[in-house]
Amino acid sequence: MNIHSSLSQIKGVGDKTYDLFLAAGIRTVRDLIYFLPRAYEDYTSIGQISEIRPGKSTIKARCESISTRQVRRGLRVTTATLADDSGKVKAVWFNQPYRATQLKSNEEFFFSGNFEFSYNQYQLTNPSAEKASDLPQQTDRMLPIYRSVKGLKVQLVRKIMSEIKPLMTMLPETLPDSIVKTEKLVSRSEALLGMHFPNDEADVSRAKERLAFEELLELLIASQLNRLENAQLEGWHIPFDKDLIQSFVKRLPFELTNAQRLAAWEILQDFENKIPMNRLLQGDVGSGKTVVGGLTALQAAHAGYQTALMAPTEILAIQHAETLRKLVEPFGIEVGLLTGSVKGTARKTLYTAIASGAVQIVIGTHALIQQTVSFHKLGFVIIDEQHRFGVQQRHELLKKSARMPHLLAMTATPIPRSLALTLYGELDVSILKDLPKNRLPIVTKIWSPNSRTQLYAHISAEIEKGRQAYVICNLIDDDPSNELKSVEAEFKRLRQSVFKQYRIGLLHGKLPSQEKESVMASFARHEIDILVSTTVVEVGVDVPNASIILIEDAERFGLSQLHQLRGRVGRGVEQSYCYLMMSTSAKPSQRLREIEKSNDGFHLAEVDLELRGPGEIYGRAQHGELNLQIATLADTRMIARAQKAAKRFVHEGNDLLQYKELADNVRHYQRVTTLN
Ligand code: ADP
Ligand code: MG
């Protein structure tokens, strides 16, 4: 048996067990070895009930009495009295009614949970319960808890792990010896033994350190290699035309900010470079990324190259097409719009125009990556709101060029530097730090539902002054089981009573796209005063005259989503307001308080990273593909350490192929982290 053997080779794994593991994605011995515990029961210190102290506690006790009651819908509470020779203690479980059948009164169990003061008494809350007779004889150790595998008891998982323990002691090292030594890491074999069979906390933390380091090292070697490999590619040469750019800038209705100038200049420089550009353009909502895209696309078109601009929603694609048309048509450049709702002959004609090069700038949604779309000479790809797309989608679009095209990925979700490094490799970054001048900071207020009337009066006053407003609701259909305001019901209510003197529009994702388009267009032309909408306006939508956004049930939204929504206002010279309406008059969450305090997207991103972790923020898809088991992308110190080691490894010219497992994992990461 070796690590590539099938699980069925392990003693004690019959057909049934094998199938259950297989269903959980565990097929080989290696898969099992890397099926790491998610936590541990600490049996190194078992206390007496009489000596129990608040905090995490483990006791060995019998269950004297147990009962379950339904407290309200969706909440069943099981209460038990546990006893040992020294005394008694109360235990409480929420929604675990099976405890009543599990805890036979004549048997001893280990209970491990949090001993805390709650509802006026001390209790063990949601303790785990392990039958004492099931535990290994020597109980002076930490017991691993595995993610549950449907149909398999954790005791069986542990037993099978002990079967392969001898094999774990012989696992070969995956990392270069020099790295293990300089970084003072435990060996791979020690690390895995430490994860599955630790004696104490220290074993676990040494094991985790080693495994986390290894994961990040793989990721960061991958990013180094991506950069080196990109440097080997030959891209399109797009020469800078000073007169063209100057006359473009002169025609703009505003002056570019310094940050916009710098970003545009960096891109134009990259265009002249031999190797394809691989650049991330980060700028907070409203910082003016689109015009930077427009300017550079014009330069590409002027040099005979097509640009494809992909946006995550149809509304946004439509808006970009309108904006860019105004910017580039005076220069004789054609802009095409390709979305799912361009159909029939119109679609065919557009395909032909794209293929012949008659259309130089093509803006669209995912429709752009379909097989049927082929370009004449695609030189430049812009991905707007890039975190909305997966690796594969970016790839599909880039593949439509004969050579690797220049790539500009734009995002308003600021990514702390450490994360950008790990997620996107060693790419180049341009940042739009300052907002266009004459912008007043948006005033943000948390609002309680009892004071709606005052708020509506304020909104009316703004509308009388000639401004427009958004009202954002969470859901489309009326769902009686919750109290969320449905967008349609709210639309009716506002139109029939509260704001009946104003023009009210309705927008949500389920409308036919022509209607979406016409509603957005009317709002932009100020034929609508108040737009009641779902979060379809969340990204990108730009109507500078709108100065109020009221977000209903605000506590349901994430921090970055709220920031994005708020970014729909504050895009013109007027004072703008964002109201966060809570569903109840309860105390506002920390999220809401943070967003009320700050307009700074970078700051909020960091807060969000702390509150929720990277997976939630940077797109499940992208983070999921990374598949980090142990390392966390929030651990900037570990990232910096692995970054150094990765650089050294690559620059010393080490042969990756000498380290087979390392090489395999690096290849995987190279594929998922590259931008282009
Ligand atoms: P985002 O970075 O969120 O994509 P947009 O590109 O949509 O921002 O720009 C937001 C608004 O600011 C648009 O109405 C745009 O015309 C305007 N704008 C962009 N650059 C400037 C500038 N330098 N001065 C004034 N307004 C600008
Ligand atoms: Mg935008």
**Domain shared by 126 and 151, yes or no:** no
Question: Sign of the CA dihedral 337, 340, 342, 347?
Answer: positive
C-alpha 528 – ligand 2 centre gap (Å): 22
| Ligand 1 pocket test target in 327, 565, 571 with most atoms within 8 Å of CB | 571
Match 């009337």 to its residue by tokens: 453
The Cα–Cα gap between 164 and 148 comes to 19
| Ligand 1 pocket test target in 250, 256, 291, 295 with most atoms within 8 Å of CB | 291
Among candidate residues 550, 569, 598, the one where a domain is terminated: 598
Query: Helix (H) and strand (E) counts for the chain?
Result: 25, 20
SS3 336: strand
Percent of the chain beyond pLDDT 70? 92
SS3 89: strand
Q: Given pLDDT bands bounded at 50, 70 and 90, which one contains residue 626?
A: low
Ligand 1: which residue has its CA nearest to atom 18? 288
Ligand 1: which residue has its CA nearest to atom 12? 288
Please check the confidence at residue 408 and state whether its pLDDT lies above 70: yes
In a domain, 182, yes or no: no
In a domain, 649, yes or no: no
User: CA angle 122-124-125, nearest 5°?
Assistant: 110
Atom number in ligand 1 closest to CA 544:
14
Residue-wise pLDDT for 520-553, tens only, equals 889 989 999 999 998 877 676 789 999 999 999 9
Ligand 1: which residue has its CA nearest to atom 22? 436
To 10 degrees, the CA torsion angle through 290, 294, 296, 302? 170
Q: How does strand 504-507 pair with strand 335-338?
A: unpaired
C-alpha 508 – ligand 2 centre gap (Å): 19
Backbone torsion region of residue 585, taken as left when φ is above 0, otherwise alpha when ψ lies between -120 and 50, otherwise beta: alpha
What is the average per-residue pLDDT within 597-613? Answer: 78
**Domain shared by 49 and 130, yes or no:** yes
* Pocket residues: Cβ below 6 A from ligand 1: 254-257, 260, 283, 285-291, 412, 436, 540, 542, 544, 571
Give the lowest-confidence range in 287-296, 367-376, 416-425, 580-589: 416-425
Q: Give the containing element (helix H, strand E) for 108.
A: strand 108-118
Single-letter amino acid code for the residue at 119: Y
What is the average per-residue pLDDT within 57-71? Answer: 91
Ligand 1: which residue has its CA nearest to atom 15? 288
Please check the confidence at residue 613 and state whether its pLDDT lies above 70: no
Confidence at residue 198, expressed as pLDDT on a 0 to 100 scale: 92
346-372 residues labelled b (16+ CB within 10 A) or e (exposed): ebeebbebbeebebbbbbbbbbbbeee
Ligand 1: which residue has its CA nearest to atom 17? 288
Confidence at residue 227, expressed as pLDDT on a 0 to 100 scale: 84
C-alpha 289 – ligand 2 centre gap (Å): 6
**Domain shared by 158 and 122, yes or no:** no
Whole domain around residue 130: which residue ranges?
A: 45-140
Ligand nearest to the CA of 386: 2
What is the average per-residue pLDDT within 576-600? Answer: 90
In a domain, 248, yes or no: yes
Q: Given pLDDT bands bounded at 50, 70 and 90, which one contains residue 675?
A: low
**Domain shared by 113 and 151, yes or no:** no
Confidence at residue 623, expressed as pLDDT on a 0 to 100 scale: 47
Residue-wise pLDDT for 307-352, tens only, equals 999 998 888 898 899 999 999 999 999 999 999 888 899 999 999 9
Q: Give the containing element (helix H, strand E) for 452.
A: helix 452-464
What is the average per-residue pLDDT within 72-85? Answer: 91
Give the lowest-confidence range in 178-182, 284-288, 660-664: 284-288
Confidence at residue 183, expressed as pLDDT on a 0 to 100 scale: 95
Atom number in ligand 1 closest to CA 292:
6
Ligand nearest to the CA of 284: 1
CATH number at residue 53: 2.40.50.140
Q: Given pLDDT bands bounded at 50, 70 and 90, which one contains residue 423?
A: low
User: For 97, what's the count of Cα atoms within 13 Å in the CB-facing half-sphere?
Assistant: 7
C-alpha 608 – ligand 1 centre gap (Å): 25
**Domain shared by 135 and 152, yes or no:** no
Confidence at residue 47, expressed as pLDDT on a 0 to 100 scale: 83
Confidence at residue 195, expressed as pLDDT on a 0 to 100 scale: 95
Ligand 1: which residue has its CA nearest to atom 4? 289
Three-class secondary structure assignment of 66-132: EEEEEEECCEEEEEEEEEECCEEEEEEEECCCCHHHHCCCCCEEEEEEEEEEECCEEEEEEEEEEEH
Token representation of residue 112: 């491990």
Among candidate residues 411, 435, 453, the one where a domain is terminated: 411
In a domain, 107, yes or no: yes
Percent of the chain beyond pLDDT 90? 52
Ligand nearest to the CA of 546: 1
C-alpha 289 – ligand 1 centre gap (Å): 7
Residue-wise pLDDT for 215-230, tens only, equals 999 988 988 888 888 8
**Domain shared by 574 and 491, yes or no:** yes
C-alpha 43 – ligand 2 centre gap (Å): 54
Please check the confidence at residue 2 and state whether its pLDDT lies above 50: yes
C-alpha 285 – ligand 2 centre gap (Å): 7
Ligand nearest to the CA of 285: 1
Number of structural domains in the chain: 4
Token representation of residue 601: 């997207």
Confidence at residue 502, expressed as pLDDT on a 0 to 100 scale: 96
Among candidate residues 140, 173, 208, the one where a domain is terminated: 140
Ligand 1: which residue has its CA nearest to atom 23? 256
Q: Given pLDDT bands bounded at 50, 70 and 90, which one contains residue 620?
A: very low
**Domain shared by 81 and 96, yes or no:** yes
**Domain shared by 493 and 551, yes or no:** yes
Confidence at residue 566, expressed as pLDDT on a 0 to 100 scale: 94
Ligand 1: which residue has its CA nearest to atom 26? 436
Ligand nearest to the CA of 569: 1
Token representation of residue 317: 């694609």
C-alpha 286 – ligand 1 centre gap (Å): 5
**Domain shared by 404 and 500, yes or no:** no
Higher pLDDT, 272 or 518: 272
Atom number in ligand 1 closest to CA 257:
23
C-alpha 540 – ligand 2 centre gap (Å): 4
Residue-wise pLDDT for 164-187, tens only, equals 999 999 999 999 999 999 999 999
Which of 291, 286, 239 lies closest to 260, judged by CA? 291
In a domain, 430, yes or no: no
Residues 6+ apart with CB under 8 A from 354: 306, 336, 338, 362, 373, 374, 375, 376
What is the average per-residue pLDDT within 507-518? Answer: 83
**Domain shared by 565 and 517, yes or no:** yes
Ligand 1: which residue has its CA nearest to atom 19? 288
C-alpha 503 – ligand 1 centre gap (Å): 26
Please check the confidence at residue 417 and state whether its pLDDT lies above 80: no
User: CA angle 229-231-234, nearest 5°?
Assistant: 105
Ion ligand 2 nearby residues (CB, 5 A): 540
SS3 431: strand
Confidence at residue 177, expressed as pLDDT on a 0 to 100 scale: 92
In a domain, 646, yes or no: no
What is the average per-residue pLDDT within 352-379? Answer: 95
Residue 225's Cα: distance from chain center in Å? 24
In a domain, 567, yes or no: yes
Higher pLDDT, 93 or 389: 93
What is the average per-residue pLDDT within 92-111? Answer: 89
**Domain shared by 563 and 487, yes or no:** yes
CATH number at residue 251: 3.40.50.300
Atom number in ligand 1 closest to CA 542:
7
- Range picked from 51-60, 179-188, 631-640 for highest mean pLDDT: 179-188
- Range picked from 27-36, 216-225, 385-394, 428-437 for highest mean pLDDT: 27-36
User: For 16, what's the count of Cα atoms within 13 Å in the CB-facing half-sphere?
Assistant: 6
Ligand nearest to the CA of 287: 1
Ligand nearest to the CA of 327: 1
Distances (CA, A) of 467 to 26, 234, 542, 582: 59, 50, 14, 24
Q: Given pLDDT bands bounded at 50, 70 and 90, which one contains residue 433?
A: confident
C-alpha 54 – ligand 1 centre gap (Å): 55
C-alpha 572 – ligand 1 centre gap (Å): 9
C-alpha 567 – ligand 2 centre gap (Å): 10
**Domain shared by 552 and 450, yes or no:** yes
